[in-house]
Chain A
């Protein structure tokens, strides 16, 4: 039984507790015609603003790359991620490609073909769990823009400190991310039928190393957490 005083989370948070999150929808003005979905999402002190436009007609000759599983889905997704200040660098390009693969994974096959969906992300402040916050904000912006989606997406960020018994922490802040061995972001897609919910993994990216069991534990915890977020969000919409 170890009681790690040093592992107390900031703000007295429980290991499996998410930070307070705040979501504002329609910040770019509804109906302005320039942007269709716009969201400002903050989770603790990490805040991002995302704008979505589309589906709109692609310029002719835009290359189509193969996407997994769905033949006939000819929608191009473009993404731009801007840092808090300065020019976009390699990290932003890496985030852009993750956003693109996330959106391609959740688009419904009934999207009109030969169109483009554009996602612009502006990072406002950072305190850990950046990718999960970006993916969640993108999901809300897509729903607000009315882009056809296959299901409801939720992304969750996990950090595991592998000292002794691995403790899985949800929604790590920057300090925890730098001290934990494994940091992962997992995005799930939920499809409901009556009372049952089915989840599928859309994106799983992790940094660092851990044993295989710990990695599976992180994946399973993320799925449960994402499901809880999904249900509470749905309950909030009723």
Chain B
């Protein structure tokens, strides 16, 4: 008896969404709070659930378990469990690497946290190296932890160090849009793929790693993604308008490259 995900509505910080009894309620209902929500005591027996960010309030859930969260487009990433992120190594403290994932605290990655790593045979990373990792521990009060190993019985996703290429920073909402592929064949990444060969790795934390076959092509992909972000920010969700502008933008970039090389 799953309730379909309700259509979100825009919200501002400070809206009380629901009041729940503090001890879980008669049927043991659980409420899970996602990002952008918080709770506070209100009276002797109830907790009030509030929004803390501006965005689209969504809820989902069956009878017993309800989830509330606010979808936002912000830049600052808040680490949560099992997110796939792109991080930049900052330093190595003994047994762990300190990795910047764009969140409020630096994340920790153990030096043996790679697929098939042993003491003798492990990737040696230094300042500025890029890794694609999974968040294995995330809480507000402790430093988040990353791992580059797969969970047991998960498909290999290419976690680990990424060589060469270029990392750029976008809003978390933008990288989520790119990941969801909502424009299908007309998305920025797909249109670029029609013209060039390149690799890219999208982290939900807003860090995107791109690598083209030449430096000029890498920069072209980088410009395309940054322009896409401004376009979708300006067009505000009008699909057709966004697609038209994206097509025009990619066409311009490709033509310019063709002009340079010709």
The residues of A with any CB-CB pair to B shorter than 8 Å are: 26, 29-33, 36, 54-57, 108-110, 112-115, 143-152, 189-194, 233-234, 237-238
Contacts and interface: CB of A to CB of B under 8 A. Distances in A.
10 contacts: A29-B230, A57-B104, A110-B38, A114-B105, A148-B38, A149-B52, A151-B50, A191-B14, A191-B15, A237-B12
B234 to A, nearest CB: 9
A112 B12 contact: no
Question: On chain B, which size bracket covers the interface?
Answer: 20 to 34
B75 A191 contact: no
Given A33-B169, A108-B52, A151 B76 contact: no
Contact of B75 (A112, A114, A145, A152): A145
A159 to B, nearest CB: 28
Contact of B15 (A108, A146, A192): A192
Contact of B14 (A56, A189, A194): A189
Contacts of B38: 108-110, 148
A150 B51 CA distance: 8
A56 B169 contact: no
B74 interface: yes
Interface of B: 10, 12-16, 36, 38, 40, 48, 50, 52-54, 72, 74-76, 78, 104-106, 140-141, 169-171, 174, 206, 226, 229-230, 233
Nearest to B77: A146
**Main DSSP-derived SS at the B contact region:** loop
Given A189-B14, A194-B16, 14 more contacts: A31-B171, A31-B174, A33-B75, A54-B104, A108-B50, A112-B104, A113-B140, A143-B12, A143-B13, A148-B36, A148-B53, A149-B52, A151-B50, A190-B14
Contacts of B52: 108, 110, 148-150
A80 to B, nearest CB: 19
Given A30-B230, A33-B169, A191-B50, A55 B76 contact: yes
Contact of B105 (A31, A115, A189): A115
A238 B10 contact: yes
Contact of B72 (A108, A110, A146): A146
